Amino acid sequence: MIFDLAGRVAVVTGAGQGVGAGIARMLAAQGAAVAVNDLLAERAQATVDAITAKGAKAIVSAFDVTDYNAVTAAIADVERQLGPVDILVNNAGNGGAERMRPAQFRDTDPAEWRGAIDVNLYGVMNCCRAVINGMCERQHGRIVTISSGAGSVGLNIGVSAYGGGKGGGQGFMRHLAVENARQGVTANSVALGLMRFEGERTVTAGLERTIPVGRLGEPDDVGAICVYLASDEAAWVTGQTIHVNGGNVTS
Ligand SMILES: NC(=O)c1ccc[n+]([C@@H]2O[C@H](COP(=O)([O-])OP(=O)(O)OC[C@H]3O[C@@H](n4cnc5c(N)ncnc54)[C@H](O)[C@@H]3O)[C@@H](O)[C@H]2O)c1
């Protein structure tokens, strides 16, 4: 089987719902044992239940990616329970215009920027720092950071701080990739376009028309590229930002 992740241990952050839950489910379906992180333990538990119901292995790992000490303690706990972490998917993030108060930069204040940078950049750095040395020692690692088109291009929809955090994450991945390429560790970003929202989040209604493929993204669309990037077969793909957005050309 290609893209076989049997025997691998994965951590997926922010995987209690949405895109992250889809990524966790697909990594587990390929055989990885998955530590499902979320701020909210009950959300993470729901994803774990969905995975274990299909006979795959998953555990809850609730922590805040912006808290470095909590991250390092949680990763140590995951490694005690599942073994060394082979795959890290940095998915936790606060959304763009749809989730924050969309506002032009000139109308925002530092507290608003800090929230966006904390989770979308520091959160990524915290989790990478917690796993990178072990990956280098074992000469194998796969790091994927879920980014956004807003990190690659300028948009006039009031998401400048979010774009700064996501763009920072992309730059960080490129450096991590080069620093650790000879140690068998890859680091890539997956920049998403508009995803279909669950529940009350209807702000994207009608936006399908702006997407060449004609539909919003689904969690499984993102899970599939993460499975590939996490696989042995993707050893020569590193330092890249891969746009997964239904055909909108962003670079
Ligand atoms: N939804 C979109 O249209 C879209 C577009 C581009 C990029 N993205 C990116 O995709 C990723 C997932 O998006 P989504 O729409 O599924 O988000 P979501 O808000 O539906 O889910 C994110 C999950 O992350 C958790 N989380 C938030 N902050 C956290 C923290 N500090 N520590 C741990 N967990 C935390 C939340 O509790 C939540 O369960 C994010 O990085 C987002 O920026 C989403």
Dihedrals phi, psi of 81, to nearest 5 degrees: -80, -40
Model confidence, pTM:
0.97
Query: If you ran DSSP here, which 8-state letter would residue 234 be given?
Result: G
- Residue-wise DSSP of 82-135: H-S--EEEE-----STTTS----GGG--HHHHHHHHIIIIIHHHHHHHHHHHHH
Q: What is the pLDDT of residue 197?
A: 72
Q: Whose alpha carbon is nearest atom 12 of ligand 1?
A: 19
Residue 175 neighbours by CB distance under 10 Å: 11
Each residue's pLDDT tens digit, 130-189: 999 999 999 999 999 999 999 999 988 889 999 999 999 999 999 999 999 999 999 999
Lowest mean pLDDT among 12-16, 125-129, 187-191, 198-202: 198-202
Cα–ligand 1 centroid distance for 127 (angstroms):
15
Q: What is the pLDDT of residue 250?
A: 65
Domain boundaries, the chain: 9-244
Tokens describing residue 111:
């507290």
Using the atom order of ligand 1, give the atom closest to the CA of residue 21: 16
Compute the mean pLDDT over every residue in the chain, rounded to the nearest whole number: 93
For 96-108, b/e burial (b = at least 16 CB within 10 A) is: bbeebebbeeeeb
The mean pLDDT value for 219-230 works out to 98
Q: What is the pLDDT of residue 200?
A: 45
User: Which residues are designated catalytic?
Assistant: 162
Contact between 71 and 35 (Cβ < 8 Å): no
Q: Give the three-class secondary structure for 244.
A: strand
- Which fold does the domain 9-244 belong to in CATH? Rossmann fold (3.40.50)
Residue 53 neighbours by CB distance under 10 Å: 8
Give the residues surrounding ligand 1 with Cβ less than 6 Å away: 13-14, 16-20, 37-40, 43, 64-66, 91-93, 95, 119, 123, 146, 148, 192, 194-195
Each residue's pLDDT tens digit, 32-73: 999 999 999 999 999 999 999 999 999 999 999 999 999 999
